[in-house]
Amino acid sequence: MSETADPKTPTDAEALPTAIDLRAEYEKSGVAEVLDELDRELIGLKPVKLRLREIAAMLIVERARAAMGLSHETPTLHMNFTGNPGTGKTTVAMRMANILHRLGYVRKGHLVSVTRDDLVGQYIGHTAPKTKEILKKAMGGVLFIDEAYYLYRPDNERDYGQEAIEILLQVMENNREDLVVILAGYADRMDKFFESNPGFRSRIAHHIDFPDYTEDELVDIADGMLAQQNYAFDDEAHELMRKYVELRRKQPHFANARSIRNALDRARLRQANRLFTTSDAPVTAKDLSTITADDLKVSRVFTMGVPDSARETGK
């Protein structure tokens, strides 16, 4: 268990407290620090952040009940994160692992992130050892399975995903005091997955939907990403970035913050090429740190009306 918390009931030899200050327990656990960090790190996502605070409050109350000798059982903490790509699901899963560790519900608090390929084998006898090895690595922490619906492929009789599912279900039930599983993916596909695998739905206690970012939030995300690397837009580029976001959100394969990161990577590439090929005089720190409109407007989003996706190199 975590050094900062132990949700187990004290022994008869120990004196049970008659009152517990929940706010003091919250501050002492360090959970407030984790949630504040999440607020700073991720823009928007208010419903998600509220749900995390509610889960943290529930766990603190459960820990207080255990400390006072009240009847309790380890709560089911397996979760389902739904939403489009780039909405922060992996980041929130990492913070959730930290919260669970600080409150004593997992021993280590690490996150193991996997997809179908990490769990399902290619031939008979391959899937079980692969899945069990991943589960062994995740014990004491959180197992995050992205695009979990790909585990189930009923149209392929020779697919071994069902074997991985059966092992996961057994471990989720029998080892819930030492492992939390978070499934993630598109909402509609996860619904179909649960319909086909009711054993999963019955073991998932928390379903959290991650909304898409608004245009204003995506522009703020772009500003923040640049600032982390000591870059900034000039005024004209900032307005053009807003237009980029407006157009890009309407195009296929948009991945929220991930698409913004890709766009900024290409803008920095163009900026470097511009400075290297057109500047005869020595460059200043401001030159090296400024993204201009010229670095954005050659994007294919503007010039061709097609997605400036990660597969496109741009100019």
Nearest to 117 by CA among 79, 73, 148, 86: 148
pLDDT attached to residue 313: 40
pLDDT attached to residue 315: 33
**What architecture is domain 22-210?**
3-Layer(aba) Sandwich (3.40)
**What architecture is domain 215-303?**
Orthogonal Bundle (1.10)
Rounded to whole angstroms, the Cα distance separating 134 from 63 reads 29
Q: Which residues contact 33 (CB under 8 A, 6 or more apart)?
A: none
Residue 99 forms beta bridges with which residues?
A: none
Rounded to whole angstroms, the Cα distance separating 283 from 276 reads 10
Check for a shared fold between 22-210 and 215-303.
no
Per-residue pLDDT of the chain (315 residues; tens, 9 = 90+): 444 445 555 555 467 888 888 888 888 889 999 999 999 889 999 999 999 999 999 999 988 888 888 877 778 899 999 999 999 999 999 999 999 999 989 999 999 999 999 999 888 889 999 999 999 999 999 999 999 999 988 777 778 899 999 999 999 999 988 999 999 999 999 999 999 988 898 899 999 999 999 999 999 999 999 999 999 999 999 999 999 999 999 998 999 999 999 999 999 999 999 999 987 789 999 999 999 999 999 898 988 755 555 444 433
pLDDT attached to residue 14: 62
CA torsion, ordered 298, 300, 304, 305, to nearest 10 deg: -120
pLDDT attached to residue 159: 82
Rounded to whole angstroms, the Cα distance separating 27 from 17 reads 18
The dihedrals phi and psi of 262, each to the nearest 5 degrees, come to -65, -40
Nearest to 259 by CA among 86, 113, 104: 86
Rounded to whole angstroms, the Cα distance separating 280 from 63 reads 66
Nearest to 25 by CA among 69, 61, 1: 61
Which string of b and e fits 87-109 if b means at least 16 CB within 10 Å? bbbeebbbbbbbbbbbbbbbbeb
Burial of 70 (0-12, 13-18, 19+ CB in 10 A): exposed
pLDDT attached to residue 9: 52
pLDDT attached to residue 303: 80
DSSP states of the chain: --TT---SPPPTTSPPPS---HHHHHHHHTHHHHHHHHHHHS-S-HHHHHHHHHHHHHHHHHHHHHHTT----PPP--EEEEE-TTSSHHHHHHHHHHHHHHTTSSSS--EEEE-HHHH--SSTTTHHHHHHHHHHHHTTSEEEEETGGGG--TT-TT--HHHHHHHHHHHHHHTTTT-EEEEEE-HHHHHHHHHH-HHHHHH--EEEEEPPPPHHHHHHHHHHHHHHTT-EE-HHHHHHHHHHHHHHTTSTT--THHHHHHHHHHHHHHHHHHHHHH--SPPPHHHHHEE-GGGTTTSHHHHTSS---TT----
The domain limits of the chain are 22-210, 215-303
Strands 232-233 vs 206-210: parallel, antiparallel or unpaired? unpaired
pLDDT attached to residue 221: 96
82 backbone φψ class: left, alpha, beta (φ>0; ψ -120 to 50): beta
